[in-house]
């Protein structure tokens, strides 16, 4: 199964503060962890995201669209980066996530979200609908 | 009973950690005791110890090292016990200085030789060319992939005793041959690598292309092969020319797997690549395939897997079937038939040339296939010839070929398709 692993933002990642020597050491530990994931055939892709100060939100209500500029409050609800893993089950994903080094001072959080698979959609999407041609190159990462 | 629920969850978490470490653990232990069965037993003992210890102490920072230490202890204890027993039986024969402790210490020293390549050593041993390819496949899925014999049996439409027997025999053969569970070096590694790649691609194809087997288990085989390919690509030295074919195979699997969802219709019928809805291809896998292929090509090798991956990449790169770079595909087949001579490659080459340079080019190549007799009952041959003749406007001849192809195929949907093409040729 494929999961997306969100690394939640913290005060530190949001403030984009210059990395301390401790943080640089932690980044190196993160590199080693990623290498472990690659060597286990688990790692598929990953990316880091800029702080919310450089983000926009688009509020949608009826026909109105309102652009809201970052930064946004509640760092813990924000995402600082993500990676995509291929694992046998959720237990394996959890076991790997627990090994992730702590690159941020203080408390931080990782969230594991499984991708929809074809069988998850079986109840409300027919095989015909699932197989129906969809226009455009969606560059999709899963079935839904 | 909240406590029970928590306990079960803890056990599952510990078992998940164990599954991650299992293959490397077995590889390291087998290298010391030269016996996969014993290594599996020792690893299992270590899991039992972890299930008893970790709920209290928490999962250690380096669980792999913890499990290995426990398993080694057990191994040394077992060896000491055996030695003690032996000494009782043959006290006279034994020289005084060869005590059980010395032997155990020597083994302990050997066990501390951690080269970090236990998993790679296990893969090369399970895929040793002295074993039949079916034994290599079963053993690799069992000890490296961690599949149960039941899962392997279901995937290969075989019985569990048959698969279990095959694995037992392979393990015994390894003990008998005294294999050292090491990664071969230099020329030997290059010579042993094809047997490893063959196993991975066989597993992949069984999951991806096989016409038999349990539908629920087979996708797991394709994924397992991809995982093995990714592991192998990560563990092999990146700059070695040997790595080119590893990366080529990985690229081939990633790109082929990207079409998994698009290659069957809702009724289960196979959809040919030129007809597939490209929006349903998995672009993440395509990207990974392109990456691996670029790394393989940078190593300057031109092996069969790199070439097949390059072929797969041509289709993946084309925004639509009409935009396929057929001249490049034709060139790649020209090279592939030298690396991997086979009448099927010759046939595919003729199809590529017909798409690139017209039906007459295809017909010329078809007639020139050396081992045409080998394709006598192969439906794709008359189907291709029919297609070339049809496009050349020779409808009466095309009709005969399509009819012959329809008779040869064992797939009823394909037969219907070919009959329709025959009818489209008119009387």
- The boundaries of the domain holding residue B424 are 377-427
d(CA B26, CA B20): 12
- Chain A hits for B287, Cβ within 8 Å: 45
Considering only the beta carbons, identify the residue of A95, A127, A131 that sits closest to B16.
A95
Assigned domain for B187 exists: no
CA distance B393 to chain A (A): 32
Q: How many domains would you assign to chain B?
A: 2
Q: Tell me if chain B has a CB within 8 Å of the CB of A96.
A: yes
Residue B320 C-alpha, separation from nearest chain A C-alpha, in angstroms = 10
Q: Is the pTM of this model over 0.90?
A: no
Per-residue pLDDT tens digits for B296-336: 999 987 899 999 999 999 999 999 999 999 999 999 999 99
Of the residues B108, B133, B154, which one is the last residue of a structural domain? Answer: B108
Residues B135 and B119: their CA atoms lie apart, in Å, by: 19
ipTM of predicted complex = 0.81
Ranges A68-82, A106-120, B77-91, B404-418: which has the least confidence: B77-91
Q: Which residues of B touch A89 (CB under 8 A)?
A: 16
A126 touches chain B (CB under 8 A): yes
| Two tokens, residue B83 | 């030695």
Residues 6 or more apart in contact with residue B112 via CB below 8 angstroms: none
Fold category of A3-112 in CATH? Alpha-Beta Plaits (3.30.70)
- Phi first, then psi, for residue B57 (nearest 5°) are -90, -15
Please give the pLDDT value at position B229: 96
Q: Is residue B392 part of a domain?
A: yes
Identify whether B407 is part of a domain: yes
**Tokens at B201, concatenated:** 């691609």
Nearest to A139 among B265, B283, B288 (CB): B283
Tell if the CB–CB gap between A91 and B16 is shorter than 8 Å: yes
| B19–A86 CB contact, under 8 Å | no
**Distance from chain centroid for Cα B409:** 28
Rounded to whole angstroms, the Cα distance separating B268 from B187 reads 45
Note whether residue B324 is domain-resident. no
Write the CA distances from A117 to A143, B4, B188, B247, B286, integer angstroms.
6, 31, 42, 27, 18
pLDDT band at B157 (very low <50, low <70, confident <90, very high): confident
Residue of B221, B205, B8 lying closest to A88 (CA atoms): B221
Length of chain A: 144
User: Does residue B139 form part of some domain?
Assistant: no
- Mean pLDDT across chain B, nearest whole number? 87
Residue of A nearest to B320 (CA): A137
Judge: B279–A39 Cβ closer than 8 Å, yes or no. no
Contact A125, B268 (CB under 8 A): no
Which of B79, B108, B137 represents a domain boundary (last residue)?
B108
- Cβ distance of B282 and A140 shorter than 8 Å: yes
A84 touches chain B (CB under 8 A): yes
Least confident residue range of A63-77, A126-140, B263-277: A126-140
| Contact: A137, B13; criterion CB under 8 Å | no
Q: Chain A residue with minimal CA distance to B144?
A: A40
Q: Of B58, B79, B108, at which residue does a domain stop?
A: B108
> Quick check: is B26 in a domain?
yes
B235 CA: distance to closest CA in chain A (Å) = 6
Classify residue B335: in a domain, yes or no.
no
C-alpha–C-alpha distance, residues B218 and B261, integer Å: 14
Q: Is residue B207 part of a domain?
A: no
**What contacts A98, CB < 8 A, 6 or more positions away?**
B59
């Amino acid at each position: 199964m494929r999961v997306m692993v969100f690394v939640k933002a913290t005060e530190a990642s949001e403030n984009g503060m210059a990395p301390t020597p401790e943080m640089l050491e932690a980044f190196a530990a993160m590199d080693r962890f990623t290498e472990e994931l690659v060597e286990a055939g688990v790692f598929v892709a990953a990316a880091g995201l800029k702080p919310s100060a450089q983000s926009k939100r688009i509020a949608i209500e009826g026909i109105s669209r309102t652009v809201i500029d970052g930064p946004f409050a509640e760092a813990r609800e924000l995402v600082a980066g993500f990676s995509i893993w291929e694992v046998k089950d959720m237990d394996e994903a959890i076991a790997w996530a627990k090994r992730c080094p702590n690159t941020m001072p203080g408390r931080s959080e990782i969230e594991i979200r499984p991708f929809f698979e074809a069988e998850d959609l079986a109840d409300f999407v027919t095989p015909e609908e699932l197989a129906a041609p969809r226009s455009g190159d969606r560059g999709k990462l899963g079935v839904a | 009973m909240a406590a029970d629920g928590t306990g079960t969850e803890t056990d599952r978490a510990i078992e998940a950690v164990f599954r991650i470490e299992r293959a490397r653990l077995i590889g390291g232990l087998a290298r010391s005791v030269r016996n996969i069965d014993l290594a599996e037993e020792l690893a299992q003992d270590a899991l039992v110890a972890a299930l008893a210890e970790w709920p209290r102490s928490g999962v250690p920072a380096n669980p792999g090292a913890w499990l290995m230490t426990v398993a080694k202890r057990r191994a040394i204890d077992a060896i000491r016990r055996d030695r003690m027993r032996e000494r009782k039986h043959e006290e006279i024969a034994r020289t005084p200085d060869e005590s059980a402790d010395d032997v155990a210490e020597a083994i302990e020293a050997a066990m501390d030789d951690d080269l970090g390549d236990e998993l790679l050593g296990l893969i090369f041993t399970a895929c040793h060319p002295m074993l039949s390819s079916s034994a290599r496949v079963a053993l690799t899925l069992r000890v490296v992939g961690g599949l149960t014999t039941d899962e392997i049996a279901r995937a290969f439409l075989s019985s569990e005793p048959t698969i279990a027997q095959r694995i037992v025999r392979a393990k015994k053969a390894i003990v008998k041959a005294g294999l050292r569970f090491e990664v071969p070096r230099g020329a030997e590694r290059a010579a042993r690598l094809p047997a490893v790649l063959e196993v991975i691609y066989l597993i992949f194809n069984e999951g991806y292309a096989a016409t038999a087997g349990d539908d629920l288990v087979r996708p797991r085989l394709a994924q397992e092969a991809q995982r093995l390919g990714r592991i192998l690509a990560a563990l092999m030295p990146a700059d070695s020319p040997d790595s080119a074919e590893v990366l080529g195979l990985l690229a081939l699997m990633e790109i082929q797997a990207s079409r998994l969802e698009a290659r069957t219709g809702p009724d289960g019928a196979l959809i040919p690549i030129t007809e597939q809805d490209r929006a349903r291809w998995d672009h993440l896998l395509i990207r990974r395939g392109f990456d691996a292929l670029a790394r393989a090509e940078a190593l300057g090798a031109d092996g069969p897997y790199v070439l097949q991956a390059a072929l797969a990449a041509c289709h993946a790169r084309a925004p639509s079937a009409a935009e396929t770079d057929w001249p490049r595909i034709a060139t790649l087949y020209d090279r592939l038939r030298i690396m991997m001579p086979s009448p099927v490659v010759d046939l595919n080459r003729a199809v590529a040339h017909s798409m690139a340079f017209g039906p007459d080019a295809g017909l010329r190549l078809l007639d020139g296939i050396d081992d045409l007799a080998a394709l006598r009952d192969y439906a794709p041959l008359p189907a291709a010839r029919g297609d070339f003749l049809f496009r050349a406007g020779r409808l009466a001849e095309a009709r005969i070929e399509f009819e012959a192809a329809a008779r040869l195929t064992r797939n009823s949907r394909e037969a219907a398709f070919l009959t329709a093409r025959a009818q489209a040729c008119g009387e």
